[in-house]
Structure 1
């Protein structure tokens, strides 16, 4: 079986769910090998969880500079790994950071790049969302090693325990003049809710929520479902909810098992970030709202009447006080 490189997305202490999804996807094409770039000691903390999810090998690139520059260590590590094993493909998460790494790597390797991929085929072709979500197409790289950015939520993580062999990569010094330096880090305030791109349930509010205080109705439904809270661009621009929770083409792309849209009309910008969700439920007073065109279930009604009833019913069935 050919090797498939998977870039590990992590925070230094834990591997993000999207990486486990990539490892599951990689097995469609060959044998997954994780590429881990981080500060010294990162591999010791994360290696076992990668092996538990199917990584037969781990290329470890540890450097004190890894956390100082945006994406540079990951690009360098992937480039060295590609030269070492000549993989069938390189997989990264189709997040803001992942797309930057993928683009830089493809440019260095002079190879093809596919982003916002939602499915992989054993032949090497992919299913890809393009033009802001307007089309879903089947694509294939025809030049060089394919660099594929897979949208989070497209695959289910699977435990597949193996013995992972570790290989060390020696990173070259990073040129500060050619790299963006990280000057500060602030942890995102998310409370007990799962991260937006990792949640199996996302409840999002739009302009129809009417204000920041009214977003409580969105949060209550998300909490009783054990999900994350999202927001449309209109809601974010109006100051209803913080920018880091924006779902859409210029925000985060999500593909949860369940996506509930409350008071969201369904502008193409928003649909581009959530229409690959497995099940979509929309609540809107306008029966002609575009969001109903992608919804599996639609409720024409006042979200302030529908959402609390749904919250109450879910809580009753789950025995939540």
Structure 2
């Protein structure tokens, strides 16, 4: 019997879509019960969103001033205590989940299964290795809780037509005194979040400079899309590293991905392989990006993008 506890990811009172993707992974395992835990300073609003995810039995809402910031060393002991009675603990393979879930696994004395992209059984999963060039099947020990991160690019969000029970509760866990939250330094943007956006426009080294990247931002705004970048563009200082897509950046799966001036290094392709439609614009007809693109346009991006914007009205 599999009972799954999913740790909700949220920010500024809003539930991240990665949580619903974790529910999809649990459903693929045919779990008998799927619960979500929301740890926040005030968990009410996020719990109200989480209860709507289809297939969820109940939402544990834990409000505590100590949970105001997502600090793994603070959240970890609470999740580990709550894990009693559950066979599996899932979290998203995002920055949040990659930070938190190893702490939970260590406290439970088990090894973490990372980047679950397919479920073969209650303790058997598939995950990518070698930058996604190979898929390995791993089997978790049956005598210990399974702690896993779910590769969000490989799963669709569960439907939002559920109505689970919300239980306001507390957890008795010893929280560390040596770790404290100081501040969150993050770029502010009105554009959609890169990891959850349905449409993404990304620029590469071919954009040429930080000033030239404005053409990418303008085109993204036209499409209502998030903005991403290749590692080459980030390393060159065109954009901050939170926009990086690829093996050492964010793994994303938008419905539409527009690659502008991106050559298509294997490390970048790893981050977009699950995208729905890939459109590539590059003046080099031999660029590797065209091998995986659904639509390819060979041309000067500084001529092509204004024409596309005009066509879009």
> So what's the TM-score if we normalise by structure 1?
0.87
Q: Deviations over 1:263-292 (max 9, x none)?
A: 111223322222222222222222332323
Question: Is 1:166 aligned to 2:164, yes or no?
Answer: no
Q: 3-state DSSP class of the match of 1:133?
A: coil
Query: Aligned-pair distance for 1:53?
Result: 1.0
1:199: which partner in 2? 197
Query: What's 1:249 paired with?
Result: 247
Change (3 A) 1:229 1:145: same
What is the distance in 2 between the residues matched to 1:291 and 1:117?
Answer: 26
Q: Once structures 1 and 2 are overlaid, which stretch shifts more, 125-134 or 251-260?
A: 125-134
Give the aligned partner of residue 319 of structure 1. none
CA distance in 2, matches of 1:189, 1:44: 25
**CA contact 2:82–2:171 (8 Å) conserved in 1:** no
- The CA deviation at 1:230 is 0.4
Q: Is the 8 A contact 1:112 1:145 kept in 2?
A: no
Compute the displacement of 1:171 (Å).
3.8
Alignment partners' CA distance in 2, 1:100 and 1:281: 32
Of 199-208 and 181-190, deviating more is 181-190
Query: C-alpha separation between the residues in 2 aligned to 1:281 and 1:69?
Result: 35
Kept after mapping to 1: 8 A contact 2:44/2:61:
no
Cα–Cα, structure 1 residues 57 and 73, in superposed 2: closer, same or farther, change >3 Å?
farther
Matches within 5 A, 1:1-321: 2-29=2-29, 30=31, 31-39=33-41, 42-54=42-54, 55-67=56-68, 70-83=71-84, 85-87=85-87, 89-121=88-120, 124-143=123-142, 144-157=144-157, 158-166=159-167, 168-177=169-178, 179=179, 181-191=180-190, 193-313=191-311, 315-316=312-313
Of 96-105 and 128-137, the range deviating more from structure 2? 128-137
Aligned alpha-carbon RMSD (Å) = 2.3
User: In structure 1, what is the Cα distance between the partners aligned to 2:293 and 2:113?
Assistant: 27
**How many Å separate the matches in 2 of 1:171 and 1:275?**
42
User: In the aligned structure 2, how far is the partner of 1:118 from the partner of 1:312?
Assistant: 39
Conserved 8 A contact 1:35-1:77: no
What's the CA shift for 1:120?
3.4
Cα distance, 1:246 vs structure 2: 1.3
Structure 1 residues 125, 279: CA separation in 2 closer, same or farther (over 3 Å shift)?
farther
Flag structure 2 segments of 5+ consecutive residues without an equivalent: none
| 1:236 shift after superposition | 1.2
How many Å apart are 1:12 and its aligned residue? Answer: 4.3
Partners of 1:124 and 1:312 in 2: how far apart? Answer: 52
Q: Scaled by the length of structure 2, what TM-score is found? A: 0.89
Aligned residues: 308
Return the offset for 1:196.
0.5
CA distance in 2, matches of 1:211, 1:299: 21
* Aligned mates of 1:200, 1:117 — CA distance in 2: 21
Deviations for 1:73-122, whole angstroms, at most 9, x for unmatched residues?
Answer: 32122211211x223x2221111221121112222223242223333345
Residues 216, 150 of structure 1: alpha-carbon distance in 2 compared, 3 angstrom cutoff? same
The answer to whether the Cα contact below 8 Å between 2:34 and 2:57 also exists between their aligned partners in 1 is yes
Q: What secondary structure is seen at the aligned counterpart in 2 of 1:305?
A: helix
| SS at structure 1 position matched to 2:68 | coil
Report SS of the residue matched to 1:49: helix
For the structure 1 residues 239 and 187, does the alpha-carbon distance in structure 2 shift closer, same or farther, using more than 3 Å as the test? Answer: closer
Query: Which consecutive residues of structure 1, in runs of 5 or more, have no partner in the other structure?
Result: 317-321
